[in-house]
Amino acid sequence: MAPPLELRACALQFLLEPDPAAKTAGVAAMAAAHAAGAWAVDTEAALAAPEGVPGRPARPELVPPRLVGQRSMATVEGRAMLVHALTHIEFNAVNLALDALWRFPGMPQDYYTDWLQVANEEATHFCMLSAHLATLGFAYGDFAAHDSLWEMVEKTRGDVLARMALVPRTLEARGLDAIPPLRAKLAHAGDRAAAAILDVLLRDEVGHVEIGNRWYLHLCAGRGLEPVSTYDELTVRYKAPVLKGPFNLDARREAGFSEAELARLV
């Protein structure tokens, strides 16, 4: 089925797609077609939010974070549980990028191009992790997972400023802190292939957080808001999680956090 010629409408179409393989292939095709100049971006269209957002498969079972289970690196199954958790995060990340792309009208065209790039890279991450999971004898959906990332996407669906503040530059930025120790665990357990995949994830996630930071600052400037105090107010209003260290300050600096913000973390 040929996708529509309007990029945001197409993003919504693939956001609704429940099959991970079809979703990720569709995002890759959408990015390639847009790079070739095939589609326009209607920045002003107010698209109706349908039921079934986001599209997702019947499995994995979604449970509270405390019920996801322990991940021992001493066994293949334990390593697979960790890789599965990362695979699920990347699947949610594809959906959140598509949601950021279609949901908010009235942004500059570069905003939509940025989030298409994020969606395409997250889809690549999902495919890499899913393929590695198969080498361990498992598939996406074989273990339970939690939905904390998408819960904040839902909370911030009414305001693009809150979305940029609390999803890419808060929850996704936690990946900058979490990936290095996870990579070390996998490498120590002898899973060098998984460690190499996490190197790619960290490199790309720096860029994704930078995109969130850049558009957050753009929106603050447009609304005449001071970024740091506004962020504090948004974290309280939307009940964002309290950040706890250790923090990857070098990666956060590269991703566009100011020295004042980094000093607050320390």
What is the SS3 assignment for 127? helix
Identify the weakest region by mean pLDDT among 51-60, 135-144, 166-175, 190-199. 51-60
pLDDT tens per residue across span 115-135: 999 999 999 999 999 999 999
| Among the listed residues 261, 158, 161, 159, the one whose alpha carbon sits nearest the alpha carbon of residue 219 | 161
The arithmetic mean of pLDDT across residues 149-169, rounded, is 95
- Measured in degrees and rounded to the nearest 5, phi and psi for residue 62 equal -95, 125
Q: What token pair was written down for 215?
A: 């558009």
pLDDT-derived band of residue 206, with 50, 70 and 90 as boundaries? Answer: very high
Tell me the per-residue pLDDT of 51-90, one tens digit each, with 9 for 90 and over: 888 999 999 999 988 777 777 888 999 999 999 999 999 9
Instruction: Return the structure tokens found at 43.
Output: 């920045």
- The pLDDT confidence band at residue 144, using thresholds 50, 70 and 90, is very high
CA 183/CA 202 separation, integer angstroms = 10
In angstroms, how far is CA 245 from the centroid of its own chain?
Answer: 20
Q: Does 48 score more than 70 pLDDT?
A: yes
Could you give all domains of the chain from N- to C-terminal order, each with its CATH number? 7-43+55-265 (1.20.1260)
pLDDT at 149: 87
| Residue 36 burial (C-beta neighbours within 10 Å; 0-12, 13-18, 19+) | exposed
Find the mean pLDDT for residues 238-254: 95
User: Which pLDDT band, with edges at 50, 70 and 90, does 261 fall under?
Assistant: very high
Q: Locate all alpha helices (DSSP H) within the chain, ordered by sequence.
A: 7-15, 20-35, 76-103, 109-135, 148-155, 160-166, 173-188, 192-223, 227-237, 249-254, 259-265
Global confidence as pTM: 0.95
